[in-house]
Amino acid sequence: MGIKNRIDAEHAYFLTLTVVDWIDVFTRPVYKHLMMDSLQHCIDNKGMEINAWVLMSNHMHLVASATSIEITLSDILRDVKKFTSKKIVATISEIPESRKEWMLYRFDFAGKYDPKIKNYKFWQEGNDAKEIQTFPFLKQKIDYIHNNPVRTEIVAEPHHYLYSSAIDYAGGKGLLPVELAW
């Protein structure tokens, strides 16, 4: 991560995790559930705190922080990306998937010339981390996150989208535990 996007241990960040080539992997529930399980593990075991999130077909937005200085948010994100990359690629290989050959080819090609990648590259580099310093910026980013499925016409109302924290902000209970920002 470059100096421009350095993650400081004491702040929350607006983050974007993007699949290479913007491949629509998260259109299948099995891959969405793998992502949710990984984030839940990080919340339960690594000190990840999430204020808002949305999982779209090819990327994820989060407002998140780490509750511990022993395990930083950078460490958590590295582990999430490493685990989900391996698990999702393995699942693509194992289950009936109509796009299997094409997706594996794209992930293989994306990692072919990167010396850090052994087999497949699933996630794009970086997290486009933006430090949350003010409440208006936080509100803007959470509104952006929750309205992402509305802008793409998946749902008419943010709280109707299952893979988002919008339901938590509307008074319900979502798929992941969220620390409400207001």
Q: Model confidence over 13-28: pLDDT tens digits?
A: 999 999 999 999 999 9
For the stretch 52-72, pLDDT in tens is 999 999 999 999 999 987 889
The burial of 179, by beta-carbon neighbours within 10 Å (0-12 exposed, 13-18 middle, 19 or more buried), is given as: middle
Query: Residue 13 contacts by C-beta under 8 Å, 6 or more apart in sequence?
Result: 7, 62, 63, 64, 65, 73, 127, 129, 130, 131, 132
CB atoms within 10 A of CB 120: 23
**pLDDT tens track for 86-141:** 999 999 999 999 999 999 999 999 999 888 888 899 999 999 999 999 999 999 99
CATH code 3.30.70.1290 for 3-169? yes
8 Å CB contact between 24 and 72: no
The pTM is what?
0.92
If DSSP codes are grouped into helix, strand and coil, which group holds residue 24?
coil
